[in-house]
Amino acid sequence: MDKKNIKDFSTRLKDIAKDLSFLGHPRFPKKDLYKLFPEHARFIDELEDVSVPFPVDVGAKRKAMDLYLRDLAAADLPYSLKKIFTQRIQDYHILLSMMENFDNVFFYDHCVKLYGSSHSLNKNEAFPYFLEKIPEFCKPDQSTQRYQGEEALQYLRGKLNETFAPDEFDVRASSSLLSDSSAGRKTLKLNTGKTYTTGHLNIFLVHEGWVHLGTSLNGAHQEENPWLSTWAPKTTILQEGLALLTEIITGYMTEERWNKVVLRHLATTMAERGSSITEVYTYLRHHRMEDLDAFKLSLRVFRGVPLEGGMAFTKELLYLHGMIQLLNHLHFFKSGLRSLWIGKISFDEHIILMDQWEQMKPELKYFPTELESPEVQARLKKLQELSFSLFKRNQL
């Protein structure tokens, strides 16, 4: 095996993946949104319209992918790595198809290929019971201190400094997020237009900071396996499942936050079953979600699909689906949490890495040590036992 080949194919994979994170910067039919939600005109102003073309030459990108696969087939690389790289290229092809069919019914068909749908898990009688048991792991947000603007940013910077080197990340304000916070390769973004409690910010810390930012920073430090720094669609389910699980086992998950997670799942299910964006929005408002938050969540659910209903952007399902799959994954493969932090990986890729850890030698620069405390490990074990008692493997 030529290690130079691994780096070369990793670099080419990163080049191909460039510009394919378009789902994080969604476009919407703004003309329709203004008519349906005139009260949210100010936020709609900040969105991009579907008429704005994506900055990607799809034909050139597909040719680059096909050439990559031809070269990969002849390369001196282990079968396991060829399998990983091939699957990622195939998923990137689906992403391009989603881009070509953005805002029409075919977007949903391709979306389901990558992220699944609500139909299978909702048929599982154990799923509602699992949802009902999670509040036992939650506690009310009793924090009294409030943070706004720069104070909130400084709080997050200070907490992240306890885990990551200060010169390796940044925390910035953003007013156009469809959520309160998000994380990129080196940046955690926060909507500073709201007031947050310490409890709210701690959730962002572990979800966006420890998990999404942490795995990005660790991936960037992989000298022998730089492909671990590159995002791919199938890495999303493990990432979101891990982020949600981390909220719960650290004790930062509140009942308020858990209710929002469940509402996100239910809203996506409603859209798949035929509810329109206005019906989903009304449903969320009925469950006491603030107007703008309900609007943003409705937009997340209807990214890339018609607003009339019958389909959804099913990535929003991966939080719950991913957590359940992760709990069973950890149980069956007797894995700890550390190996999940090495970069952006899928479940299948994690299995390959565990099997060939000594040969691949992935590095781990950052890991939140609080996750190894007895209290956190006890919660994790209890959740694994609950999940294992309810779900059979591969029936998610």
Say if CB 222 and CB 339 are below 8 A apart.
Answer: no
Question: Which pLDDT value is given to residue 360?
Answer: 86
Span 54-112, pLDDT tens digits:
889 999 999 999 999 999 999 999 999 999 999 999 999 999 999 999 999 999 999 99
Instruction: Show the tokens assigned to 228.
Output: 């671990």
Q: Which amino acid is at 150?
A: E
What's the confidence (pLDDT) of residue 394?
Answer: 42
Which positions of the chain have pLDDT values less than 50? 393-394
Question: What integer pLDDT is reported at residue 330 of this predicted model?
Answer: 94
Other CB atoms within 10 Å distance of the CB of residue 8? 15
Please give the single-letter amino acid code of residue 70: R
> Which residue(s) pair with 181 in the sheet?
190
Q: Would you kindly state where each structural domain of the chain is located, as residue ranges?
A: 127-254+319-390
pLDDT the model gives residue 143:
87
> Is-contact 295 40, C-beta < 8 A?
yes
Q: What pLDDT, on a 0 to 100 scale, did the predictor assign at position 1? A: 53
Q: Are 328 and 246 in contact (CB under 8 A)?
A: no
User: Quick one: how far is CA 211 from the chain centroid?
Assistant: 10
Cα three-residue angle 291-316-80, rounded to 5 degrees: 160
* pLDDT recorded at residue 121: 66
